[in-house]
Amino acid sequence: MKKSMLLSAALIAATCVLSQQAQGFESVNLLKNGDFTEQYEGGLPADWTGFSHPCYLQRIQSTVTVVPDQHFLRFTRKETQAGEYGHQTIALPSSVESVYVSLRARGRELASGDDWWQWPGLTYSWVLADGEETPIGPGRWLLLQSDSESWVTLETVLEKPQNATGIRVAFQGIGWTGEADFDQVTVEPLE
């Protein structure tokens, strides 16, 4: 009885995996270091670029760092001035029709800026064949809009335009104040 139950469970699990693969749902994170296990000297995450200079961040009373031994990215902001908080640009194969984007987030003492979209989170834009970028509007961004002591998962599926060759993901650094943590950032292709 026990053997047949284990065999049934294994068959169900294999069927789910094969079904996902047949539908093109391959669980491959195209984003490098989305779990923040690697960092540069000074605490910034490896493979992410475009951070504001530390002197500027200090002037606007902001910090960006990978929390040691816990491997998540923490932003602390006391002023609403804009800061650049890191991005990655990812090439997408032509067979990709859409992408699944997700991250885990939590926040403390969060306050939005003047506009409804000025919350901590992840923004993105499509990269076109000519190198230009087309923003994917704030209505599709993954924004943490309230305090949360425990981790919450924010996720979306984005349909890729035919002329897009990549996607740029970036942390939103305009308007909001408080402390926000991010982890397990993923960009997975759906074919």
Asked if pLDDT for residue 173 goes beyond 90, the answer is: no
Kindly tell me if the per-residue pLDDT of 107 is higher than 60. Answer: yes
Whole-model pTM: value is 0.81
Residue 52's pLDDT band, with cuts at 50, 70 and 90, is: confident
Burial 163-175 (b: 16+ CB within 10 A, else e): ebbbbbbbbbbbb
- Mean pLDDT on 160-181: 93
Instruction: Using the structure block, give the residue that is written with the tokens 């970028």.
Output: 133
Q: pLDDT tens for residues 68-93?
A: 888 999 999 888 777 778 899 999 99
**Main-chain dihedrals φ then ψ at residue 42, nearest 5 degrees:** 105, -10
Q: Which residue has the higher pLDDT, 135 or 96?
A: 96
CATH superfamily of 27-190: Galactose-binding domain-like (2.60.120.260)
Beta strands in 92-176 (DSSP E): 98-111, 121-128, 133-136, 142-143, 148-159, 164-171
Nearest to 161 by CA among 107, 92, 63, 70: 92
